[in-house]
Amino acid sequence: MDRIEIHDLLLRCIIGINESERKNKQDVLINIVMWTDTRAAAASDNIDDTVNYRTVTKEIIEHVERSEYFLVERLAERIAEICLRDSHVRQVQVNLEKPGALRFARSVGVTITRTRADFEM
23, 25, 58, 98: which one is catalytic? 98
The pTM assigned to this predicted structure is: 0.95
Quote the pLDDT of residue 121: 72
Helix (H, G, I), strand (E, B) or coil at 78: helix
Whether residue 7 is predicted with pLDDT greater than 80 in this model: the reply is yes
Q: List the domains of the chain with CATH numbers.
A: 2-119 (3.30.1130.10)
Q: Which residues contact 110 (CB under 8 A, 6 or more apart)?
A: 72, 73, 76, 95, 96
Arithmetic mean of pLDDT over the chain: 96
For the chain, what percent of residues have pLDDT higher than 70? 100
User: How many CA atoms does the CB half-sphere of 19 hold within 13 Å?
Assistant: 0
Whether residue 78 is predicted with pLDDT greater than 90 in this model: the reply is yes
Active site residue 98: yes
pLDDT band for position 102 (50/70/90)? confident
> For residue range 16-36, what is the model confidence (pLDDT) as tens digits?
999 999 999 999 999 999 999
At 46, give phi and psi (nearest 5°).
-120, 130
